[in-house]
Amino acid sequence: MSSIFGKLNPSVKGLPVYQPGRPIEEVARELGLDPSEVIKVASNENPLGPSPLAIEAMQVAVKQSHLYPDGNAFYLKNKLAEKLGIESSNLILGNGSNEIIEFVSHILLRPGDNIVVSQYCFAIYPLVAMMMGAEVSSVPSVAYGHDLSAMLKAITPSTRIVWVANPNNPTGTLASSDDVRVLVDKVPSDVLLVMDEAYYEFLDEPIDLLPLVKSGEMPNLLLMRTFSKIYGLAGLRIGYGIGHPNFISAMEKIRQPFNINSVAQAGAIAALDDAAHLNATRKSNAEGLRFFESVCVELGVEFVPSSANFILIKVADGQRVFESLQDHGVIARPMGGYGLPEWIRLSIGTAAENLRSVSALKSALI
């Protein structure tokens, strides 16, 4: 008898399943622990939580949740545009920047096309490309970072998108401004360059590519940012793309009309006003990173110097150490799925969480 499973889109059938950081409640249930005893350092969330201003604004917005959201997110886009010195027409919002990755892939990729990524790139770029039946050209990394000149050379007439996360996740590496400038200059005008700036706000002196968007001189450049990381709003699912108005309009065509819910819009608007929360997060993160680096040096374990809010640590058997940490109520991220089976990734937590992570790590490594 023929079945529906024989009819699955072939590019979906072979798709690997994305393994996110495990939720606290799930792990607590499994270990018979109280959720308050478990910490999650698996998904690079903000350990200080959302901005209090965002929480307040969301509590107000909840009372209007019988109404559909503003599908065009007028106030949020205006506020972002003002903050960035661009026009609203340069912005598209996504249900997390993950959704922007889908928009981009949707409008550019057909079977036979390809994307260029780096080894150890963010897992969603290749996943969505495969979903579209496109090929993935993965360029060997150098010292766990992107080799931008090799990525340029990997571009062929079939290439539609080059994906660069800077800083990169899961490695935390940062490409130099000089290398990014060369990439931006040399990328062919019919290839989209996406600079994924999910961790941009953690940088002291980030490269500013907004002028290229403002001037309109580079319609094949898209920047991506998110409220999930430094803004501490990962649960709201809201991210944004910054690009040429014509490219933004093309993506708008395939967006669901209400992809950003009203509570998320309210929270994000308020979060943009909370510079103090951002600064506190940046400071706490920098201290936490230094702490982890000094512990790694002390323990004699290899790590990748990070420009983001997490650190990649070489532990020989990542899966075993992940499980051992989990038994101690610390949810980390094993890296086998990224081709880094000897490593684990730990998000930087509060000072107390960092002590717990380190103590669990020490007992796992003995």
From 159, 220, 228, 307, residue interacting with ligand PLP (rule: CB under 6 A): 228
Looking at beta carbons only, is 170 or 329 nearer to ligand PLP? 170
Looking at beta carbons only, is 128 or 152 nearer to ligand PLP? 128
CA 117 to CA 94: how far, in whole Å? Answer: 21
- Measured from the Cβ of residue 73, the count of other Cβ atoms closer than 10 Å reads 25
| Number of residues counted as binding ligand PLP (CB under 6 A) | 14
Determine the straight-line distance between the first and last CA of the chain, rounded to whole angstroms: 56
User: Rg of the Cα trace of the chain?
Assistant: 21
From 113, 147, 196, 353, residue interacting with ligand PLP (rule: CB under 6 A): 196
From 226, 265, 284, 357, residue interacting with ligand PLP (rule: CB under 6 A): 226
From 115, 183, 234, 269, residue interacting with ligand PLP (rule: CB under 6 A): 234
The CB-nearest residue to ligand PLP is 96
Collapsing DSSP states into helix, strand and coil, what is residue 276?
helix
By the rule CB under 6 A, 98 interacts with ligand PLP: yes
- Specify the DSSP class assigned to residue 145: B
- Measured from the Cβ of residue 39, the count of other Cβ atoms closer than 10 Å reads 24
The amino acid occupying position 78 is: N
Range in contact with ligand PLP (rule: CB under 6 A) among 92-100, 133-141, 143-151, 322-330: 92-100
The amino acid occupying position 103 is: F
Q: Which of residues 38-67 bind ligand PLP (CB under 6 A)?
A: 44
The least distance separating ligand PLP from the CB of residue 235, rounded to whole angstroms, comes to: 9
Burial of 321 (0-12, 13-18, 19+ CB in 10 A): buried
CA 118 to CA 131: how far, in whole Å? Answer: 18
From 46, 90, 169, 309, residue interacting with ligand PLP (rule: CB under 6 A): 169
List residues binding ligand PLP (CB under 6 A). 44, 96-98, 122, 165, 169, 196, 198, 226, 228-229, 234, 239
